[in-house]
Structure 1
Amino acid sequence: MYRHPLSQFGLSRNLKLSQLLVFDRVMETGSIQRASHDMGLTQPAVTKVIQELESALEGALFTRSHRGVAPTDFGRVFGRRIKSLLAEFRHMTEELDHFRFGTAGHIVVGTLIAASAHLLPMAITRMKARAPNVLVTVREGPTAQLFPSLATGELNIVVGRLPEVELPISDAFPLKHHALFDDSLAVVVGSKHEIAEASITSLRDLANSPWILPTGDSPLRYSVERMFRQAGTALPTDIVESLSVLTNLGILLESPRVAVMPRVAATQFTQTGLLCILDVPESGSFGTVGYSVRDNKALSPACEVFVECLREVAPASVEG
């Protein structure tokens, strides 16, 4: 019997927003129990919603085990579309709120290490002074995680080091990158440790020191490896890999390790007396810091205000 492709009108009538929200939460948590707790529902109620969706879609969305649930291939395809749909719904409610109440809404900002210590806090502070009713949610993560989330609409904007080459994002979700300023690398140590007072003339003087390096899959790691190559020395052997600004700062305060971070971020911590920037001539360019948005999607009013704030505070962020 012939069936209209996807039976689109009947299916759209059967799907409810509440069901999609439950499905998305189960996808995020990988657990019926955690999803029910987060949404204030009983586990049987969440299970029933998933079963109703599977029946309507005529396909299994999850596989069950004693560890929780995992999406099937069919479930992952459905999940990607649901994330985009929910993001569009969120954008619609923001626009309605802006129309009814003025500057309101919700922006979700993805951030990389280059922006999390100074630029982003300054921009958020100015944003909240200008539009206190806007909810700002910050999500920190690596490039490989943030840009796909931006492409699907889970994030409104990503702030940090711009990619040197275009990332392999789907043509359906092109991204546009906007430069704010160029930054350099800084080699730093905790200000209370002896190495802060040592006479360091080259990266070679630090080759045998314990280090904190960016994770191997991050663009910042490539910059650091290039810095060591140009200095003619191998990467250190005693390393901790981390992109967490807070974790790195805590380690530097507790142990005589050496780390690399964007100079704008490092300056923020040297001004408070926490870190010391070593005068290492080989420390080179970090890259261009800016923000990225979807190229085929108009910014929400709240996100437009946030971009204005980013542009206004960027010069002060460079001056440190």
Structure 2
Amino acid sequence: MQPPVLKSMATTDRIKLRHLRSLVAISEHGALVRAAEALAITQPAVSKTVAELEEIVGQKLCERSPRGVELTDAGRLLVRYAGSSLRTLREGLDSITRDRSIEAPVVLIGAAPNVAAGVLPKALNLFGQRNPQARVRVRTGTNAQLISELRRGGLDLVLGRLVDPSGMQGLNFEPLYTEVLIFAVRRGHPLAQQRPLSPRALSSFRMVLPDLGTRIREAADRFLLTEGVDDPLNAIETFDTSFGRNYVLQSDAVWCVPEGAVESDLREGVLYRLPLDTHTTEGPVGLTLRADMVPSGALQQVLAAIRDSAVART
């Protein structure tokens, strides 16, 4: 019988890049067809490749479900390391092929809409002043989407609210500031001059709420339920701040939105914050990074700029 170390080395030697790419693609897309399309290969090829990987590691990595294909616990654990390994490999290849005098490293940032519209532009402006040649890519989405991409190595950091602690294995969260949800309306809205204003008055107007399943939607629902608004009238659900802004400006709708997403509109008087006490919706906003990640010099500079901008905000 081989010693454990030799057995592990033998297993590692059999794993190919295509095995890891196929497993990560299934994790990302949740279906064999979409994973195959992303990899530009056939569905049977993906199935065969994953079956080979399962035979190599000696464990079931994927299971079919009503929603498509889901990873087992072993599959999720392997993807966590596979995504990081693929990301590190890409960075290494970039390092040896890039003409550094022409092209600077790219920092990949995932941002929730509230910070994408609030603290992040200020931070990246500061970063750009300090690093004129640096390149940054920003992707927005729900925290769950961004955290999933971070785990796979598709992002360097996520800036947003703290996710459920049960989903933070292998990740580090650095709190920067706290933020509440507010209820925003257009100027001249019927509720803008109503005093005193009861939260129950919201029931008479269509509401724009965050998507179901998000942390901020959970906070919004708790607030509304506590205040007796348990059935918002024909609510529109969206995580798109551009749509939410334009919709409320053209209607009498009430928008439940993180304060940071509409800071400039509130300051300039474009939107009006209804005078409701929403302190119970407060939550920490901060930086999430992979625990096993060694930040590049460019990423360290981005982190410093974000921290400086967050301090200035508070």
For the criterion TM > 0.5, the same-fold answer is yes
Partners of 1:125 and 1:15 in 2: how far apart? Answer: 43
Secondary structure, in 3 states, of the residue corresponding to 1:168?
Answer: helix
Secondary structure, in 3 states, of the residue corresponding to 2:232?
Answer: coil
Corresponding residue for residue 138 of structure 1: 139
Question: Which residue of 299, 306, 314 corresponds with 1:303?
Answer: 299
* Contact 1:201-1:279 within 8 A present in 2 as well: no
1:115 aligns with 2:111: no
- The one-letter code sitting in structure 1 at the alignment partner of 2:172 is L
Give the superposition deviation at 1:258.
Answer: 0.5
Partners of 1:317 and 1:13 in 2: how far apart? Answer: 50
Question: Which residue of 177, 182, 185 corresponds with 2:174?
Answer: 177
Are the structure 2 counterparts of residues 201 and 28 from structure 1 closer, same or farther at C-alpha, using a change threshold of 3 Å? same
| Pairing 1:1-320 to 2, within 5 Å after superposition | 2-5=1-4, 7-43=7-43, 45-63=45-63, 69-72=69-72, 74-90=74-90, 92=92, 104-127=104-127, 130-142=131-143, 144=144, 146-147=146-147, 150=150, 155-162=155-162, 167-169=165-167, 173-179=170-176, 181-191=177-187, 194-195=189-190, 198-199=193-194, 201-204=196-199, 205-215=201-211, 217-221=213-217, 223-224=219-220, 233-238=228-233, 239-270=235-266, 275-284=270-279, 286-294=282-290, 297-314=293-310
Partners of 2:12 and 2:78 in 1: how far apart? Answer: 14
Are the structure 2 counterparts of residues 64 and 99 from structure 1 closer, same or farther at C-alpha, using a change threshold of 3 Å? same
Over the aligned positions, Cα root-mean-square deviation in angstroms equals 4.1
1:155-209 Cα offsets, whole Å, 9 max, x none, are 422212357xx823566x2514141x44454321244x74376545413443432
Give the superposition deviation at 1:304.
Answer: 1.0
Instruction: Provide TM-score, normalisation by structure 2.
Output: 0.74
1:99-144 Cα offsets, whole Å, 9 max, x none, are 96698333332323431222223334554563545342424213x5
* Contact 1:162-1:289 within 8 A present in 2 as well: yes
* Contact 2:134-2:298 within 8 A present in 1 as well: no
Partners of 1:97 and 1:121 in 2: how far apart? Answer: 30
State, as a whole percentage, how many aligned pairs show the same letter: 23
- The one-letter code sitting in structure 2 at the alignment partner of 1:29 is H
Are the structure 2 counterparts of residues 176 and 288 from structure 1 closer, same or farther at C-alpha, using a change threshold of 3 Å? closer
* Contact 2:110-2:155 within 8 A present in 1 as well: yes
Give the superposition deviation at 1:12.
Answer: 1.7
Partners of 2:148 and 2:206 in 1: how far apart? Answer: 34
- The one-letter code sitting in structure 2 at the alignment partner of 1:104 is A
Alignment size in residue pairs:
309
* Contact 1:118-1:317 within 8 A present in 2 as well: no
Are the structure 2 counterparts of residues 213 and 95 from structure 1 closer, same or farther at C-alpha, using a change threshold of 3 Å? same
